[in-house]
Amino acid sequence: MQIKEVAERLNTTTRSIRFYEQKGLISPGKDTENDYRTFTENDILRLSTILALREIGMSVKNIKGILENPDMSIKGYLNIQRSALFEKWIEMKDMINTIDQMMEKTNSEAFSVNQIFELSRHLKNMKKLRKDWEDKWNFDSQAEGYDQNIKMAGYRFNVHQDYEKALSKIKETIELHPNDICVDIGVGTGNLGSKFLDDGVRIIGVDQSEEMLKVCQEKHPSIETRKGHFLALPLLDNQVDGVVSSYALHHIPDSEKLLALEEMTRVLKDDGQLCIVDLMFPDDNTRAEVIEPFEKQGNAEAIYAIEDEFYANQSVLVKWLTANKYKVETHQFNDILSMLYATRE
């Protein structure tokens, strides 16, 4: 297809298309004789993704980072568009809530302009948190070897001790029925979500890593994979019957974990259930007690593994869930691994 027709069909201008070409975001083939550009289906998909991301205010530089892979599949492009739109939608909802709160406050006599500043600071912080998370572990590069690697015990510390037991425990604990919708956050290669497929449960696997989603999709075609992250789940409000997650929450800092629980609550139906297995300590004292012997033994491998990630303080999560009307049960598998099962009261 020629540039003029592409511009017309995508509701843009030939000038914008040339601009994205100049910036290296697209590279349509060019006729060597007359320099006319020819757009393939892939160029058009890429361009429509660029336009959607620009529409929500993403910079050309960030788009370039996201669209690094020139051979992404149609699903990959659409997944990126959906995830970005959800992020924007959640941001808009936050803004509307903030304005509602401001309006309520204007009714009170104690209202001062400082409250407006405080609320807009809150908005800015939320936006920053959603945008700033970085995959410092490079899960894209781990995707192919992930299933093999979790079977190998570490030299002096094994984070995957009780892995199978823990995933099976989630399956045994959460009560899901045929046609229920359950989201598996940080789905990875689908080891947890796939346990529910034989029961007719519809599993939506969310992950920030496209490569993990690709492996998951190859292994378990019935899992619907969606790009997204803990603080901006690509799901509507009150949409799912269950939220499950294994070995993923410890990749976000403690300051964001409660926001992640809030986001899970947003997508859960009123009678929904939440079941999370992760690396966590019952509380800060236990954390110190577990780390102390490693220090005495000079077990740097264990200390590095714990400190490189964000093992949760379970008591903080339980306190938040209880305050938000969940009934919570916990189960500890070993010193560093526990499960939280929460149901709405």
Ligand X SMILES: C[S@@+](CC[C@H](N)C(=O)[O-])C[C@H]1O[C@@H](n2cnc3c(N)ncnc32)[C@H](O)[C@@H]1O
Q: Report the C-alpha gap between 123 and 115 in whole angstroms.
A: 12
CB nearer to ligand X: pick between 25 and 183? 183
Figure out which of the listed residues 76, 186, 272, 282 binds ligand X, where binding follows CB under 6 A: 186
DSSP string computed for 99-145: HHHHHHHHHSTT--HHHHHHHHHHHHHHHHHHHH---TT-HHHHTTT
Q: Report the C-alpha gap between 166 and 333 in whole angstroms.
A: 7
Pick from 325, 83, 60: which is nearest to 208 by CA? 83
CB nearer to ligand X: pick between 176 and 187? 187
Least distance from C-beta 247 to ligand X, angstroms?
4
Q: Could you tell me if 204 and 226 are in contact, meaning their C-beta atoms sit under 8 angstroms apart? A: yes
CB nearer to ligand X: pick between 26 and 279? 279
Least distance from C-beta 186 to ligand X, angstroms?
3
**Closest residue by beta carbon to ligand X:** 188
CB nearer to ligand X: pick between 153 and 288? 153
CB nearer to ligand X: pick between 30 and 219? 219
Q: What angle do CA 222, 223, 229 make, to 5 degrees?
A: 165
Count of residues engaged in binding ligand X, rule: CB under 6 A: 19
Pick from 227, 258, 266: which is nearest to 67 by CA? 227
CB nearer to ligand X: pick between 6 and 143? 143
Q: What angle do CA 104, 106, 109 make, to 5 degrees?
A: 115
Q: Residue 39 is which amino acid?
A: F
CB nearer to ligand X: pick between 115 and 142? 142
Q: What angle do CA 181, 84, 41 make, to 5 degrees?
A: 100
CB nearer to ligand X: pick between 151 and 296? 151
Site for ligand X in 188-217 (CB under 6 A): 188, 191-192, 207-209, 212
3-state percent breakdown (helix, strand, coil) of the chain, nearest 5: 50, 20, 30
CB nearer to ligand X: pick between 188 and 282? 188
Binding mask 224-263 for ligand X (x = CB under 6 A): -----xx---------------xxx--xx-----------
Site for ligand X in 20-49 (CB under 6 A): none
Binding mask 138-157 for ligand X (x = CB under 6 A): -x------------------
| Distances 167 to 36, 152, 162, 244, 276 between C-alpha atoms, Å | 56, 17, 9, 10, 10
Pick from 341, 342, 338: which is nearest to 280 by CA? 338
Q: Does 320 bind ligand X (CB under 6 A)?
A: no
Angle of helix 254-267 versus helix 314-323 axis, rounded to 10: 40
Q: Report the C-alpha gap between 12 and 49 in whole angstroms.
A: 13
Look at the chain and count its residues. Answer: 345
Q: Return residues touching ligand X (CB under 6 A).
A: 133, 139, 185-188, 191-192, 207-209, 212, 229-230, 246-248, 251-252
